[in-house]
Amino acid sequence: MKEKNLITRILATDCGSTTTKAILIEKRDNEYRLIVRGEAPTTVEAPYEDVTKGVLNAIKEVEELAGVKILNGENIIKREKNEGEGVDLYISTSSAGGGLQMMVAGVVDKMSAESAARAALGAGSIVMDVVATNDKRLDHQRIKRIRTLRPDMILLSGGTDGGTITHVVQLAEIIEAADPKPRFGAGYKLPVIYAGNKNASQDVAKLLDKKTALYIVDNLRPTLERENLQPARDKIHDLFMEHVMAQAPGYKKLMDMTDVPIMPTPGAVGLLIETIGKRDRIEVLGVDIGGATTDIFSFFQKTFNRTVSANLGMSYSISNVVKEAGLKNIMRWVPFEMDEKDLRNRIRNKMIRPTTVPSTLDELQIEQAISREALRLALEQHRAMAVGLKGVQKERTISDAFEQSSSGSTLVNMLTLNLIVGSGGVLSHAPRRVQSALMMIDAFLPEGVTMLTVDSIFMMPQLGVLSTVHEQAATEVFEKDCLIRLGSCVAPIGNLKEGQKAVTVKFAGEEHKVNFGDIKLIPMELGKKTKATIIPVKNLDMGIGKGKEIETDIEGGIVGVIIDARGRCPFTLPTDEKSRVEKLTKWMKSLNVYPEK
């Protein structure tokens, strides 16, 4: 790789399960900016079955749009100096081929097994199942499960260093008896990472060395009150490259093309979210809704968390959103009356032809309705996982450890949340930015005052990996070209009768009154920040008590300030179809969400 200061043109791709995205970044007038973006369908399907075809096609689009020659046949031209053709750095992330699929095992489900799941999730993996000695399954059921799942790798943990070894050895025996096979490549052994009691390492090795590719790393829970996830996460990343990516169609070629190792897409996005939270000292919720999975990243109480909802997505997994949310919950967001049979068929047709895009307004509205439910369910799953101690090397007392296993209280707090970052096709590519804003508000139901943003053209994954090799370029592009600030959302908590006066928001010498059941958009330009006084009526709460006014900063954006007085805790929609459609239509008109038909 060239020296950092000599890098002036960067090409980055992200191979998603549906679309491969390429961006071109150049240093112009002493700052790094996004120049163009190209995309093409991901080519894991026959007849191509080679991910580099989609990559090359996306790069070709970049070439056409930027008027720069980057490819010489199927090779990326690497510049010696600053000549017109080629690039200085090429990097890539990937979640194609189903991403990284892991199974984790730990002695106690709420202790070492939960820590192991966090290690795997933090490394960008999908956790297919968690095996624990107290998971209420019989041994033969666990063995059958391990055998049928065919994960890409297994992470085994359990026992504190120096503690009893029996239980973790028992888990190793179960894995040995299952003799698991990897998803790709019959000829190689399944990688198993052991990150448990160091005193049991030898016994675990005796059991698993022959049947699996065993790697031993430091215990991820060396003591009850301490989590040490990094060594396991690093090993997962190494093995992802060596075993999983190398087996997927075309990846060997892609690995040769990139200047730095390919990173799993969620790992790269998580890195960016964590950086924003730490740098700005705020609470952040990030979402990346893809074709197959939806990732949620959060930074609450200085703790980073990531979960992936493996089967909630907008193309391959779209039917599973319907299965999990129920068709009624999807239909409640569709602003017109629709036959169930027709809706079902449309959703299935998207599943079997995942690269298609809505070309009519009705189709767009249906997709955005489904996305609300995918996002809502993904956040529900995140809430359940984002509990207790998280992240790297966090010290805490034994009493905290027990509290975690008993209470399981979530760190996610929609009231203290400062910033939502939306990413993924359906949010980044919504034709009007206000559509993304409303999808996120409806799905996440933020409370109090929350800033809404979206990844402009879905390039957080590429910037995440870029930040590991060229932080300056990643930061400059992220601030100037990636993050689009939509505006603040003001949402009082509580419920009133429809049409009653709900909240008054005063700022910039103006007063905006909103009645209960309404949502209002106040234009406020991008970059403008001002003090606002928010006065809820006596039964509504802005966070410090019912009827108490607050003074806070609100910020404008591409969309403006949204005052949402539709109710929280709970938020409800009319159940009869006619009133529901009327209500949705009113809200959508009020925010100018869709063009008039």
Considering only residues 57 through 96, tell me which ones interact with another protein, judged by CB under 8 A: 57, 61, 64
| Contact between 275 and another protein per CB under 8 A | no
Count of positions (residues) in the chain: 597
Contact 14, 20 (CB under 8 A): yes
Contact 484, 454 (CB under 8 A): yes
Segment near another protein (CB under 8 A), from 273-281, 351-359, 520-528, 572-580? 351-359
Please identify, using beta-carbon distances, which residue of 361 and 469 lies nearer to another protein.
361
Segment near another protein (CB under 8 A), from 322-330, 408-416, 520-528, 573-581? 322-330
Please identify, using beta-carbon distances, which residue of 65 and 384 lies nearer to another protein.
65
| Contact between 320 and another protein per CB under 8 A | yes
Segment near another protein (CB under 8 A), from 83-91, 217-225, 271-279, 319-327? 319-327
Segment near another protein (CB under 8 A), from 343-351, 482-490, 508-516, 579-587? 343-351
Please identify, using beta-carbon distances, which residue of 40 and 236 lies nearer to another protein.
40
Burial class (CB in 10 A: 0-12, 13-18, 19+), 399: exposed
Would you give the distance in Å from CA 139 to the centre of its chain? 34
Smallest distance, Å, CB 297 to another protein? Answer: 22
Q: Which residues pair with 286 in a beta bridge?
A: 297, 421
Please identify, using beta-carbon distances, which residue of 183 and 512 lies nearer to another protein.
183
Contacts of residue 440, defined as CB under 8 A and 6 or more positions apart, other chains included, come to: 287, 375, 420, 422, 427, 446, 452
Among 160, 298, 317, 404, binds another protein (CB under 8 A): 317
Among 12, 24, 43, 92, binds another protein (CB under 8 A): 43
| Contact between 525 and another protein per CB under 8 A | no
Supply 216's token pair: 């031993």
Say how many C-beta atoms besides its own lie within 10 A of residue 170's C-beta. 13
Alpha helices (H) along 12-111:
51-66
Three-class secondary structure of residue 91 per DSSP? strand
Q: Which residues pair with 284 in a beta bridge?
A: 299, 419
| Contact between 265 and another protein per CB under 8 A | no
| Contact between 592 and another protein per CB under 8 A | no
Give residue 274's identity as a one-letter amino acid code. Answer: E
What does the per-residue mask of binding to another protein show for 156-175, with x meaning CB under 8 A? ---------xx--xx--xx-
- Residue 127's alpha-carbon distances to 105, 130, 178, 316, in angstroms, are 10, 7, 18, 18
Smallest distance, Å, CB 464 to another protein? Answer: 22
| Contact between 549 and another protein per CB under 8 A | no
Please identify, using beta-carbon distances, which residue of 311 and 329 lies nearer to another protein.
311
Please identify, using beta-carbon distances, which residue of 168 and 451 lies nearer to another protein.
168
| Contact between 292 and another protein per CB under 8 A | yes
| Contact between 380 and another protein per CB under 8 A | no
Among 279, 341, 497, 578, binds another protein (CB under 8 A): 341
Element (H, E) at 100: strand 100-106
Give residue 36's identity as a one-letter amino acid code. Answer: V
Smallest distance, Å, CB 546 to another protein? Answer: 41
CA atoms of 465 and 85, how far apart (whole Å): 24
- # chain residues binding another protein, by CB under 8 A: 70
| Contact between 54 and another protein per CB under 8 A | yes
Say how many C-beta atoms besides its own lie within 10 A of residue 175's C-beta. 26
Among 1, 71, 177, 526, binds another protein (CB under 8 A): 177
| Contact between 361 and another protein per CB under 8 A | yes
How does DSSP assign 446-459, residue by residue? --EEEEEEEETTS-
Supply 508's token pair: 């910039």
Supply 82's token pair: 């600053």
Please identify, using beta-carbon distances, which residue of 58 and 514 lies nearer to another protein.
58
Strand residue runs (E) in 187-283? 191-194, 213-216, 263-264
Rg (CA), the chain: 25
CA atoms of 193 and 540, how far apart (whole Å): 51
Please identify, using beta-carbon distances, which residue of 152 and 541 lies nearer to another protein.
152
Interacting residues with another protein (CB under 8 A): 17, 40-41, 43-49, 53-54, 57, 61, 64, 97-98, 139-140, 143-144, 165-166, 169-170, 173-174, 177-179, 181, 183, 186, 203, 292, 311, 316-317, 319-320, 322-324, 340-342, 344-361, 363-364, 429, 431-432, 595
